Structure 1
Amino acid sequence: MSQARFSIIPGWIVTDPRLKGRDLQVLCLLGRYTDRQGWCVRSQVKMAGQLNCARSTVQLSLDRLVTIGAVEKRAGVSRDGRDTSYWYRVIYDRAVVAEEMAAWDDGEPDDLPNDAVDETGENLGIQSRETVDFRQTPADISAPPADPASAPPADPRSAPYKNDPTLTTQAERRERDARERVINSDLEGQGTVGSAPAEDARVIERAFKRTFPRWPTYVDDSEPEARTAWLGLSSADRSEAADRIEDYIAATKAGPRKHICAFSRYLREKRWEKLPPRDAKPVATHSAEPPFGKGWGVMRLVELIQPPGPMPAPTHFIQKLIDAGGPQAERERLQHQARHGWPKVNAMHAHAADRRGFQVPVEILPLGEGFRQVKRGSPLWEAWRALHERWGRPWVPDGPDWIWMPAGEDPDAAMVEFEKAVKAKDADDDDGENRAAAE
């Protein structure tokens, strides 16, 4: 398989706006090694070597692909309980709509023959080429695994035209007709139909179909709610709403909350109107801080005082140790938490190993005013390391002889004061937002 000619990946992922960096390359590399069910086992180190990048880059891409829903990841376990290379499954198809499945099942029995046999007389469970009507084949059904034998000659007939109405399922036709009735009804309520051309409904719908997928959360958003909010806008508002999407996303990510609302809410509340004019001078929201510097240390501790995020299940061997209870079980639990609980901190450590800094919000940089340098290997250094181990947080990787930590000879007391400073800053930010909203 090392010389595979093809890479099999899901077609829907190509236009997904959540892809970043090398995500598509990593997915294509997995697609070269998958079996018929989409599974393969690959070492992240080998993948990084093939792509000529850092292992951390591959790991971040894989985590993002798992979040998007294009890849499933499972940890491999060796016989002695140690970690091995991960198993990955490329997810080719999304779930088929139940209504469409029911519509396909309504066909006559002769339309779906299941009696094709091979030369040995064994039932293959597939449709024979002579009896199947290719125009009636639903477009969204997953293709069967590729047969290792040579492909049959191409059919001399012309391919069906893509807009042939026989290619549209019954469910799709009902949904399309219902959608056009809703659009026309809404336009009549706005006094549009009768004074505007008859194709206005189709033009508005096409504009919605182009705009909605640009929204970061459109996969989880309610499309009917978004469409209703879209139809409730004037033509000028729809144009401006679509034009300012990227500006709104950038402004939200640069703020303290970073939560992207639903597309319907963005439209209903006309949130683009709260954005500054495009000709306004941009204000820097992040600063590229060098690894192990003061700003880098502030960012790291701000993340670590947060609760751990979702974590993968421990290996079977580690889980048995944890279930046994006792001091060793607690150590294993904390070590597993430290390895997987704070992915952003892990990314910072990986970047630091490659001598790369990290983008730190400028609003948290003042929290480093009370920091001081701690020498690697000193008693204070070891005290900070012990605190991280008791705390179940990842310790800083190998690097320079000095790092920045909150001032004080007692790390426990220093962290208490640091958390107080972070909470006080968050409270000030909330008060400022509330005042701005009231104004």
Structure 2
Amino acid sequence: MSNPRLSIIPAGAVTDRSLEPRDLQTLCLLGRHIDRAGWCTRSQVRMAGELGCGRATLQRSLERLYEAGWVEKRRRDGWRPEDSTPSSSYAYRVKLDRDDFDLKSLARDADDDLDESHAENEEVPEIGEVVPAGGQGCPPMGTGAHACAGTGAHTYAGTKNDPLERPLRTTERDAGARARDRKDKFKAEFRRRWPTAVVDDRQRTDYAADALSAEEEKAALDGVEPFLDELKRQGRKTVPAGWRYLEEKRWTLLRQGEGSAEAGASRSTSIEESSEAGRAIVTLYAVAKAKPFVNRGAVIYPGGAVTPQLLAFAGVADRSSWRWITDRQQVAAWQAFLGEHVFGARAPLLEQRGEQSGFFAPASWPPRKDGGWSEADAAEASQPGGDE
């Protein structure tokens, strides 16, 4: 026969609570593909295929079995460091005997109810009686102990594992492996969806992806198509790099503009483009390097009513007279203001001029809530001739 019909595993592994059901499958599979010396040299990819799981899952099972002492491993090649990640370069062998295992327990026949040597059928001495010499009886009951609560076949001191729960380091290792698998799937799916993934800086994209939480990963993927549609709607011919989309979390720019269907419909305001409010919204979006949605001469503003603070932009002079803003506090104030009042996708606000980063704005500071500008900026906002 090409394959053995039997696969013998150590009995203690069946009740080792540090193991998972998949680990027992792996243990049986190792015994199915051994050579004459008892070593399994089968490819991990092929074994994972037989078990119907991923290679990473199989590797975790092999590591748990190795750490629990149920298998031993040796290197099949000599060029990898000893502490490297387990791979197909390892051969594994099932350890049928363990130094810390009670060999006498193997002589017990669990199916023979009449066997007096079996722990469940052995007569328990009364408190104070002496344990029969040479026997396997239970010690006298003490404070906080139970009768016949000795070392059973399910307890292995040599594994250094609590029989009631898995070791913390094993749980942490498995959680880390699952997180890495999730990250790899997210990166692959994002590259498949993003148009410029082929020419993007792959390392920078990976860094940006690693910084995202699980919730942000889902939001980023869900926002790809709406973000690209918004770019087309605004007539933009270029798509930003994927790492920039992830670093700046640009899908969040659509959140305020989208909202729920009912909320969006109730807040959106249709404004005649040639009106004072229409001119104010167009100018506001120009500062943010974006274009508002215009339908048949009407500007659709998702922010609702146009407040006096926004109407201040209706009297702003031509863009040629705007200031070049580089002060950090002023830049931060404008970014917060535009983030609150401008909806939809837009280009990065800052641009580079020599060694300085900045942007053009009608004044140094955004308008006040009452619609006025600061005294120093009032003339600059309404009169041409500002610094560039």
TM above 0.5, yes or no, is no
Q: TM-score, normalised by structure 1?
A: 0.32
More helix by share: 1
Q: Which has the larger radius of gyration?
A: 2
